[in-house]
Amino acid sequence: MGLHTLKFDSPYGNWFSGLKILTRNGVYGSLFVLAMTSTIFLGCSANEQADSVTEGMNRTIATVSIPAPVFSGIDQSGSEFTSTSLRGSKWIASFFFTACQTVCPRLNAKQKDLIREFNGKVKLVSISTDPVNDNGEVLAEYARSYNAMPGSWWMITMPEESMHEVSKVGFAVIDPKEPSMHTTRLVAVDENMTIKGYYDSEEPSDIELLKKWIASH
């Protein structure tokens, strides 16, 4: 199956190259493309518009099946983390930065609730979009405020170039040109390192769908 490059002008003035990954893996449905382009650009910048995607589109997004990226970073304890260590476990990827005072506290509070509710059934990986400032004790203290412990919830930093690549190419979400431009999606990855869905952390109906996915199997 050949590579089909689909380009869409994002609200941030850049072509959305992430869909190249999706088309390379054979996802061509017009509804899927509409859903992805309608939902993928949700971040925590103050000037962004509210998401208006229907539940039907969210259900379409929740049935994707594309390879998760392989990446590494340094976690809140100062140890190396590699995504391949999560093979065999369900896990959720997200993006944040410690100085964020808008959506990040809500995003991480919801993830804390998921760990509490589904103890042992899902793991979390939160990737900082501000690696210059989110390191060492800053990241460790922030992780402690959410009771995030390596083994169940890793908060990691990586070189800035790697972070951009993991975000826009690996997970096919918005490239955080600034720390505040990160996606607010929770990206669900299954035991086989396959992305299974994108869930809006600001939408209660999406959180419920995510919980159903975690509880399944």
Distance (Å, whole) CA 162 – CA 157: 10
- Domains of the chain and any CATH numbers: 19-215 (3.40.30.10)
pTM for the model stands at 0.75
Strand order, beta sheet including 80-82: 66-67, 194-200, 185-189, 91-96, 123-128, 153-157, 72-75, 80-82
Name the DSSP letter for residue 30: H
Distance (Å, whole) CA 92 – CA 89: 10
- Give residue-wise pLDDT tens across range 56-105: 334 444 468 999 999 999 999 999 999 999 999 999 999 999 999 999 99
The residue type found at 111 is Q
- Give residue-wise pLDDT tens across range 175-202: 999 999 999 999 999 999 999 999 999 9
